[in-house]
Structure formats: structure tokens, C-alpha cells
Amino acid sequence: MSTLIKLNNICKYYYQGEIVTKALDDVNIDVEKGEILIILGSSGSGKTTLLNVISGLDVPTKGQIIFDGKDITHYSDAKMTKFRKQNVGFIFQTYNLLAHLNVYENVKVGAQLGKNKKEDINYIIKMVGLEEHANKYMHQLSGGQQQRVSIARAIAKKPFVMFCDEPTGALDETTGKVVLSSLVKINKELKTTMVIITHNPGIALIGDRIIRMNSGKVVDFSKNENKMAPDEIPWG
Amino acid sequence: MWLLFLNSLKGIKKKRLQMIGLTFLILISTAVYTTMNSALDRMDSMSEQYMEEQNVEHMTILLNETNILTRENIADMFNEKLSSWKDIVLPEVVVTDEMLEKYDQDALQEMRDAIIESGVPEFMVETILKQQIGKILAGSSYLLGIVDGTYPADDLNTYIFYGCSSKAKNESTNFDPNLPYSKFCPINPGTSTSSETPGEVPGDDECADDSGTSTNASTNIAKLYENFSSMTNNNSYGVDKYEYLTPIMEELSQTYDFTYVLKANKVLTYSVDGDDQNYAASIMVYDANLPVNTPYLIEGKEPINDNEITVALPFANSNNIELNSYFEVAGKQYKVVGLAYAPDYIYPAVSFNTPLYDVKRHTVIYTNQATYNDFSGKEEKYYAAKFNNYDGSYTDETLQDLVKPVRKDSRVLYVLSTATISPRISMFTEEVKNNRVFTSYFMYVLLTIAIFIIIMVMKKRIDDERLQIGVLKSLGYNTYMIAAGYLVYPIVGSIIGGILGYGLGVVLQGPVVNLYKSFYNIPINDFFFDAKYLLLSLVIPLISLSLLSYLVALFMLRHRPLKLLREGSNLKVNFMTKIVTKLTSPLKFKSRFRLSLASRSLGKLLVITLCSFCTGLLIVLTLIGSTMMNKMIDKTFAGASYDYQVTYSSIVDPTIIDGYDENHDNEDLITTSDLTLYQIIRKNGTVEVLDKTRSVTVNGIDESLNLLKITNSDGDDISYKLFEDNNQEDVDNIVINDTIRTLLHVEIGDTLILSKRVDIDGNVQCSNDKKYLIVDINETFSGLNSYVDKGSITKYLGYSDQSYNMIYTDELKPIYDETNSNISSVFRYDDLKKNISIAIEMANYSIYIIIAFAGAMALIIISVVSNIVVDENKKHISLMKVMGYKEKEIKSVVLNIYTPFVLIAYLLSIPAMKGILRFIISLVARDLDFSVPIELSLQGALIGLIVIMAAYFIALGMSRRALNRVSLAEALKRE
């Protein structure tokens, strides 16, 4: 597999007067195309900051981000927005869907960025297992279903990479595994690279590689020798 | 982008109250816009055409008679009646050689040559010459005697004076003893004031070099002017001066290319059974062929036969007069054969006594010549003129350019032009113009308020949806695309409000037109659909609100996605809240919590405060306006317990009138004169020369008054102060009115220096100074008016103590008949009071409407804001419910947070509006010589407070429902 994203000596510091908080400290990682990369760490380890930097939502204090051979470190806001539109999808712990639109319309909100046709949207809705709920509104869906809608929305524009920040954080085991299955399915069928943040070591087992973070540093970055399907992983 | 818009559209249900408020504002603005413009279009579209077709005058012209009438004219007019001029024996003047040396030598030589040519032997030439010069000097000496008062300014001497000082035609000479004035007038051609072509009259109002030496000279000349005018109007002379003036009008019409008519009308005041107020009519002869101000027949026929009349339509409607029925005017029955308008009486103010049009009691009456002659009433004549080659509008500035040279012509005394202000015509056109401006600004004001509401609603929504917005931005939506989704509010509000507003406007324009119809005598068009207003009702709010909302949304959405996605990013505490928290730490919890909530959103706080301030300004303005009008009327009429004010055209001096036996018991005889104020000596001794002189009306009164009361602001009688000794030599006492005090910033103790100034053919003659010490202020507000001891002014002007030119009386004696040539006008104060009271009453109704409107605006805005406050604080409300607070307690800390701000804003609006009004009045009054009382009574202030607080608490009451609906589960939800 070839490298999609490369981070070189990435640092992210926060300054409060004389106090410097090193959220990321000399991080060097790469993300390969088509893989599921897990970033694992406890609260405050810097994993969310790392996700924000990789995805272009945040700007590093030092270092370099190379995306598909292009240095995107110092992109302007407008350029970065365009970059995200063309390349990146996001899923967050809270679903943040539009309350007054139904499932189909919410997915279309994402699809419009990629100028997808109606058939593509229906396919994606089917892929996340919500074809029977396409006309329902968010208040009519469970948490897991809503999260799957947000996945569909993110994937609808066919991004190269999906960034998922604790996608199962608000869900129980059963629902969470369903969501993870959707992500794995998308990765397999659409070859979309997945970068998933979690504090749950069980979830890390669905990944191809795992990055372990602690206090802003990468303490381990290795291949997952015990890769499992989502329904097999231990929860918690 | 459409989906984002759809999301917002579907979410409108949750913002019901705000959308209703917004739509309502747009509805009102477009309704008023459509109503007024449609109504004005109906009136306006006909008016120019009507005025053109009826040949409405461009100007009223009064000619400068003293400049026009030649010696021959005056001789023709008065010679028979005043032939005793021949009997006047002039004092002999013996001419010496020394006197001859001072004479004009060229003129002398001409006279010598003329004598020689007549055949006189050479040795007699000098003797004859000296005789002739002696006669001339004797004549001149007599003229000077008239001027300096040696000879009285009676009719005979007026005749002689004008015979010599009027324009002389070149061919007339002064040496033919059969011609009048020959023995009085100076011969020197260099002093002739005739001119071949009219030119500009010098406008210099500086005193002429040779003036100021004699008080009597200028005042006597003024008396002569007044007497000449009276003579030319005096029926006993049988004089028709227009026979002589009309040829001049003919010349003017050729020079300035206009058509003219000599208009005559009689103003008649009469009573009607069952009505305690007098009716007034302006009576004219119906002539369908009149080239200027052609009558407009609405219905029926022309009054061809005797005792047939037409009346105006509103008058007929108000008095239930049908065609071919009879109507009684001044005790006689007339057949109403038609309904007609006088096109130059669009606003038919028919008399001085009734300056405000009363539909029921005022009308123009057309009749035939014979019936017109039979009518009593004071007749006025003037020339009405219309330019021949002017195609522009009646109010166009370019008309001024045509009028200016006419006005400056030395043969013209006065021009009243529709281009400047001719109340009967231009009041209508001004009203139309001003109303259009008002409706546009009104629309903009309401739309500005609407923008505030949109901003508040948008901000709330953006705050609520910041996470969703953060995700959308993360996915790649840019700010412009996201902002477009929030345009749903201005778009929906504009479309619904605009269409409904237009519809309402179409419905309401009818009643508005009817109101105008009853007020203005002008035909009005039927309603016609104008797509322009439908379009503008939609387009103006749609574009203006959408554009502004979009710009604001872009600003609100400027943050980066990460900032939006961070939890609690909307919970940042602003600097104002930090300051308030510190300042309010000693207060109780409830107060601290309220103030903290209020200060959390500066935008909402600003909107509420501004709204209360502006509503307060509007309410205070209307209340002050009401107080102003009522007070002006009260003060103006407070001192007037008389029913009639009779003004004479010239001074009446009983001491020189043979057989004078008029009884004026229980009346007040006043001597009134306009003097020029040009200097002030302040209390501290500083002398101030005014950069602009002012004409002050000085009213001389007797010590004991029967009907007039002069009071100060406390209502105390102060006339006695005029007769107290001020221990200053040559300085008399004066009581000034409030206008003088305000305009010139004078006070009690200051001294005014006045003089009598008379403009004679552009040369301003000034009399000696007259000093008056201000001893008190009379609270009246019209004109620059003052009172003095009568003796002081009569002496100054050279009259006897008993002279007068104005009478206040309760009884309208026959000698006060307006048709008497000596009487200039009779003011019926009762009619004036009632006329103005009716207008005030109507104005008061409109004040209540404005106050109600201001209150409604405040209600809408405060409702919207309170609703948003409840929405924003759902979590707090829910938490408080969970903790066990009662709903009443929750309401008091969450809803009543703006009470002190609303109160303070209103209280601040009172001095603010007073200050604004004082500033505006000072600018306006400077040029118009009037002042107005700017006061707000405690009662008025309380009314305003009640209105504002009522709107506030009603709005809070409406938000209480939303507060009650907040569930306890709300507290459990994540941010």
C-alpha cells in the first residue's frame, strides 16, 4: 500500500502565559491508502489533537503534513476547506445531523459536495443498512441509526479518507458494533482509508495498524497482528 | 445549499413568534407604503393635469402702486375731490443772488433760455428767473413741511405729496399752472425718479446717509404711505385704481410673458341656525372663460341666473345639500345649481379668522355678477398670473427662476408664487411630497427594526446549530453556502409580509383618499392597479433584508470548524458579564443572576434598550407635541377676553378728526407699529449689535385695560410694570413675548434699541433710536410681539396720545364693518379659537394612534427578545425546575431581566427628545420668528412610562407560555 498521509515532526503547543502545553510533541506517522488506522489513547493523550491536525482541522505549531504528495501544512482557510471538501469525511461522537431533514436528505447534504447522483445516495444508505428508514427524521431514529446516517453523509461524497472521532462513544456494545461494521464494510467496498480515534482497546482490534498515544507522543506505532471483525471484538 | 435552506424552512415552526413579529413588521411597512402611495397617486396623477387644464395661477401679484401711479393718474383719481389744492397759499420766498449761486447753474441757464424764448425783454430775465425759482422753492418748502409734520398728513397733503413724489411721465412738466402740483413739485430733472425700464430695486437695508436726523420725517412718510393706500381703496373717492394699474400689468405680461386676470372675491362670514360657530365663504363670479383660475364644475350647471350659486363638494356633502335645493347664506336663500371647485383654492382657507379649513363651514361660492354685487363681505382684488411658455410642474424649482425677475421688478410690490408657498395651492402639493417622503422613511424604519429581529433569530439558531455547522464546515461547506441557508427568515417574511401588506394597502387606500377628498378641493382619480407597488412591496424588503441578513450571517459564521465543534464554545463569558459580575457581587442572588443573564448577550440588551429608547422618543415627541399645541393655544388666547380685534388701515387720531364722537367704553385702544430691533444693551452693560435686524411689533397699551390681559408664565398680570418708573432717562419699559426671549436670548434687565425704518424706493430711512428696558416676559409664542406704554410709542411716532390703529372689543359695531375702507381687517377671535380647537382635537386623535403604534412596536420587539431569552436559557430553567423552584420564581429571574434597562432607556428618552426638539426649533424659529414651549408634564411622562412598561410586561406574559413548556428533561440533555 502506498502512503496517503505523512506527518513529519509534528508539534502542537498551547501557550498560556509562560505555561506551554505540548498537546503533540514531535509526532512522525504515516497513513497508508485503504487501511484502517486506529489511534488509541486515554483522555488527554493527544489523540484528538492528532486527528485534528491530520485532517486539516487544526494547524500544527511545527512540522509538516504531506497529503498524497502535497504539503498541506500552510494551506489558507479557503484552500483547506476545498481540500476537505474533495478529500476528507468526518464522523464525530455526537451525530450533529440536521434535525429537520430526513435520512435521505441528510445523506444528500454530504453527497452534494461530491455531486453524486440519486442512485449513489440510495446505494450508500443501503450500505449502512438504513434503506427502510430513508424517509424518517432524526427524532425517529435510535442513536446507532443516527450515527450510521452521519457515516453515510460523510461517505456520500466519496472522500479518500474518513476521520472518525470516537464514533461509538455514545453507543452501547451492540449498536457500537453495528456502526463499526458499517465502517469496515465501507473500507472494504469503497477502499476508503479510515482513521479512527478511540480509547477502547477492543475497538482498536478492527484496525490494520494501531498508534498508541500518551502525553502527546506516539509511544507505539505497529501493525495489528490480531485483527478481528467488529462483531468478534471484546468491548471495553 | 437548497437542503440547508429547506432545513431552516422546516425549522420555522419552532420560531413561530419571531416569524410572526417579523412578518407583521414587514406587513405594516408595506401596507403603509402601498396605502399612502396609492392614495397619493390617485390625487397626484390628477392634480397636475387638473391645475394645467384649469389654468391655475403661477403667482399672485400685488403691484407697487406708489411706484406706478403717475402724477397724471393721481390727478385723475383725486383732482375733483381735492381741488382745494389750488387754494393753498405758499409762503413767499425772496431769492437772492447768493441763493442763485447755490442752484444748479446748467438748470438755471436752461430756465433763462426758456424765459428769453418766451419773449421777455433781456433786462427782465433775471427778475423773472428769481420769481420762478422763488415759486419752486416755496413749493419745495411746502413739501418739506408735509414731510416734517408742519402740515398734517391728511388726504389733501397726501395727494400733493404723491403728486410730486410719484413717477412722472417724461412729457409732463411742472410749469403749466393748469396741471396739478405745478406750484409744489421741484423741477430739477436730476431728482426725477421715473425710469424707462424697470430694474432691480436696491435691497440694501442699511440706513440712508441722510436719514436718522428726524424722528418725524420717517414716521410722517410712513403715515403718508398708509394714507395713500387708504385713499386709493376709499369708496368715497369713487376711485378705480385698477384702471391705472392694469396697463402696467399689461406691460409686465408682455415683458415676462404671462397671462393675467384681475381676481375679485368677497369674504363673507355668516351664522347658520343651530350652529354656534360662524360659516365663511369666499364668493366669486363664475366665468368659464377665465384664462387663469378657470372654475371647475363637478356636477350640475353654471350659476347663470340671479340668486343661483355653486358650492364645493365636501361642503355640500357635510351639509346634506342636494343639487337644485336651496341654501341660506347670510339670511338669504340661494339655489344650489352646481358643485364646483375654485382651482386656486385647493386648500380653501377662506378667511383670516378661520385659518384652518373646516369642511362643514367653509366653501367657495360661485355666482353671477349681479348676485356677486349684492353679496356683502369684504372684497379683495389682486392679479393672478400664469406664465405662457412654462410646461413644468407647479412646484418645480425652475418656476422660481421665472418668478424671480418679476419679484425684483420695481413695479411689483409682492409676489406669492406656487413655487415657494401659496397656501391655497402649494399646501396640497407640499403635503403630497412630504407624505411620500414620510412613508418611505417609515418603511425603512420598520425594516430596520425587522433586521434586528432577523439578526437575533439567526444568532440564536446559529448558536444552537454550531455543532452541525462545524461538521458541515469540516465536510467542506464554505461559509457562503451555509449562510444562504439562514436567508429563510427574510425571504419568508418578505414574501408573506410583502404580499399581505400590499393587499392591505390596496384596501386601506380608499378610506385614506376619502379623508383627503374631504380636505382638499380637487378631483381625484379612481383606483388603478400599479404593479410597481406590488413589486416594491416584495422587492424592497426582500432585497434589503436578505442582503443585510446575509452579511450578518457571514460574520456570525466566520469561525473555523474546530472552534465550533469544541464543547462549551458557546458558553464563553463576555467582558460585560465579567464586569457586571464584579459590580453586582454585593447584591442578592436573584438580582445578580438577572443582571448576569441580561449582560450575557450584549446584542439583545442593546436591541431592548434601543427599542425602549426609540419608543420612548416617539411617545415623548407626540406628548410634547400635544402639550405644545394645547399650550400655545391656551397661552395665545389666555390674555384675550375680547371677541374681536379690529385693525385700521391707518392711524386714527381723534384730536385731528372734526366731529369725532366714537364711544370706546369697555374697549381697548391700541397703537401698534413695527419697529426694527438692531441693538441690545445687556444687563451687564455690554452692547450687542445684531448681525440680522429683526422687525418687532410694538403694541402701545393704556394703563387700565378692559379686555386684554398681559400675563407672565405664572399667570400674573404684568401690564402695570410698563408704567413703573425705571429711573432711566429716555428709556421706557417693555414686556416682550417668549419668541423674542428665545430667539435673541434676552432677559429681564436687558435694553432693546429699536428704530423706525421705512423703505422709500430702496432707500431705507431710519428714525432716531428708541430704547426699551425689558421688565417682564409675556408667554405668547407667535411673532416678535411686545407691549409698551401707549404714550411712549405714540410720542415716538409723532402721534397724539389718543391715537390708535387697533381696537379690542366685545361688540361688533356697524363702524367696524370690514367694508369700511378705513378698516383693514376684523379678527373674530371666537371663530379663530373654535377653528383651532377643532384642529387640535383631530390632532389629538392622531397622537393617540401614534402612541398606540409605538407601544405595539415595542411589544413586538420585546416579545421576540424575551422568547429568545427563554429559548437560550432552557437548561437553566429546566435545572431550576428540577431543583424545586416554583414557576413564578423562575419567571422573575429569567424573564424580568431587562426591566431596569427598559425603565432607564425610557427615562433617558425624555431629556433626549427635549434636546432634539429644542435644537430643531431653534434652527427653524431663527428664520420664521416663532418659538414654541417644549414641555412634558408629569402626567405625560407617566402615560409614556405606562405604555412602555405595559408593552414590556405583556411581552413577558406572552413568553411565559414558552417558559412553562420547558421540560425537566431538558436539564439532562448534553450541550
Q: Do A109 and B3 make contact, defined as CB atoms within 8 angstroms?
A: yes
> If you search the block for the grid coordinates 386623535, which residue do you land on?
B845
Is residue A105 less than 8 Å (CB to CB) from chain B?
yes
Regarding beta strands A209-214 and A36-40, do their DSSP bridges make them parallel or antiparallel, or are they unpaired? parallel
Mean pLDDT over the full length of chain A: 89
Mean pLDDT calculated for residue range B615-621: 84
Exposure pattern of A114-143 as b/e (b: 16+ CB <10 Å)? bebeeebbeebbebbbbeebbeebbeebeb
Is residue B560 less than 8 Å (CB to CB) from chain A?
yes
Burial class (CB in 10 A: 0-12, 13-18, 19+), B568: exposed
The model's pTM is 0.74
Instruction: State residue B172's pLDDT score.
Output: 47
Instruction: State residue B333's pLDDT score.
Output: 94
Q: Do B7 and A81 make contact, defined as CB atoms within 8 angstroms?
A: no
Residue B10 with chain A: CB contacts under 8 Å: 100-101
Is residue B558 less than 8 Å (CB to CB) from chain A?
no
Question: pLDDT of A156-176, one tens digit each?
Answer: 988 999 999 998 888 888 888
* Position B213 pLDDT exceeds 50: no
CA distance A87 to chain B (A): 9
Mean pLDDT calculated for residue range B800-808: 89
Is residue A157 less than 8 Å (CB to CB) from chain B?
yes
Query: Could you give the percent of chain B with pLDDT greater than 70?
Result: 88
Mean pLDDT calculated for residue range A194-218: 91
Instruction: State residue B195's pLDDT score.
Output: 36
Q: Can you tell me the distance from the alpha carbon of B476 to that of B68, in angstroms, rounded to the nearest whole number?
A: 88
* Position B762 pLDDT exceeds 70: no
Q: Do A57 and B4 make contact, defined as CB atoms within 8 angstroms?
A: no
Residue type, B124: M
Is residue A89 less than 8 Å (CB to CB) from chain B?
yes
Beta pairing partners, B340: B297
Instruction: State residue B930's pLDDT score.
Output: 61
At B197, the pLDDT band (50, 70, 90 cuts) reads very low
- Name the residue among B3, B467, B475 with its Cβ closest to that of A89: B475
Q: Range with the lowest mean pLDDT among B14-18, B751-755, B765-769?
A: B765-769
Instruction: State residue B760's pLDDT score.
Output: 57
* Position B204 pLDDT exceeds 50: no
* Position B188 pLDDT exceeds 50: no
Q: Can you tell me the distance from the alpha carbon of A170 to that of A179, in angstroms, rounded to the nearest whole number?
A: 11
Instruction: State residue A71's pLDDT score.
Output: 93
Mean pLDDT over the full length of chain B: 82
Question: pLDDT of B367-424, one tens digit each?
Answer: 999 999 999 887 888 899 999 988 888 777 788 888 989 988 888 988 888 756 567 7
Q: Can you tell me the distance from the alpha carbon of B14 to that of B19, in angstroms, rounded to the nearest whole number?
A: 9
- Name the residue among A52, A98, A105 with its Cβ closest to that of B562: A52
Q: Do A98 and B4 make contact, defined as CB atoms within 8 angstroms?
A: yes
Is residue A100 less than 8 Å (CB to CB) from chain B?
yes
For A122, the grid coordinates are: 440510495
Instruction: State residue B573's pLDDT score.
Output: 64
Exposure pattern of B85-112 as b/e (b: 16+ CB <10 Å)? beeeeeeebebeeeeeeebeeeeeeebb
Q: Do A52 and B472 make contact, defined as CB atoms within 8 angstroms?
A: no
Which of B475, B559, B974 would you mutate first to test chain A, the one with the most A CBs within 10 A? B475
Regarding beta strands A193-198 and A36-40, do their DSSP bridges make them parallel or antiparallel, or are they unpaired? parallel
Residue B565 with chain A: CB contacts under 8 Å: 57, 92
Q: Can you tell me the distance from the alpha carbon of B286 to that of B334, in angstroms, rounded to the nearest whole number?
A: 15
Question: pLDDT of A15-47, one tens digit each?
Answer: 888 888 889 999 999 999 999 999 999 888 888
At B700, the pLDDT band (50, 70, 90 cuts) reads very high
At B821, the pLDDT band (50, 70, 90 cuts) reads low
Is residue B568 less than 8 Å (CB to CB) from chain A?
no
Q: Do B3 and A94 make contact, defined as CB atoms within 8 angstroms?
A: no
Q: Which ranges of B298-366 would DSSP assign to H, the alpha helix?
A: 313-318
Most confident option among A126-135, B386-395, B604-613, B650-659: A126-135
Nearest chain A residue to B9 by CA distance is A100
Instruction: State residue A12's pLDDT score.
Output: 92
Instruction: State residue B198's pLDDT score.
Output: 35
Q: Range with the lowest mean pLDDT among B33-42, B459-468, B852-861?
A: B852-861
Residue type, B426: S
Of B902, B533, B933, which is closest to residue B739 (Cα–Cα)?
B933
Nearest chain B residue to A55 by CA distance is B474
At B208, the pLDDT band (50, 70, 90 cuts) reads low
Question: pLDDT of B132-153, one tens digit each?
Answer: 888 778 887 888 888 777 787 7
* Position A229 pLDDT exceeds 50: yes
Q: Do B478 and A108 make contact, defined as CB atoms within 8 angstroms?
A: no
* Position B209 pLDDT exceeds 60: no
Instruction: State residue B170's pLDDT score.
Output: 46
Instruction: State residue B187's pLDDT score.
Output: 57
Instruction: State residue B351's pLDDT score.
Output: 67
Cβ(B708)–Cβ(B640) below 8 Å? yes
Cβ(B776)–Cβ(B971) below 8 Å? no
Instruction: State residue B191's pLDDT score.
Output: 36
Instruction: State residue B190's pLDDT score.
Output: 36
Residue type, A175: T
* Position B973 pLDDT exceeds 70: no
Instruction: State residue B940's pLDDT score.
Output: 84
Question: pLDDT of B571-611, one tens digit each?
Answer: 556 677 777 778 888 888 777 877 777 777 777 788 788 88
CA Rg, chain A, in Å? 17
Question: pLDDT of B544-580, one tens digit each?
Answer: 999 999 998 999 888 888 888 876 655 556 677 777 7
Q: Can you tell me the distance from the alpha carbon of B894 to that of B883, in angstroms, rounded to the nearest whole number?
A: 15
CA distance B544 to chain A (A): 27
Question: pLDDT of B293-333, one tens digit each?
Answer: 999 999 999 999 999 999 999 899 999 999 999 999 988 99
Instruction: State residue B416's pLDDT score.
Output: 83
At B173, the pLDDT band (50, 70, 90 cuts) reads very low
Q: Do A113 and B475 make contact, defined as CB atoms within 8 angstroms?
A: yes
- Name the residue among A85, A92, A108 with its Cβ closest to that of B476: A85
Nearest chain B residue to A51 by CA distance is B562
Instruction: State residue B747's pLDDT score.
Output: 93
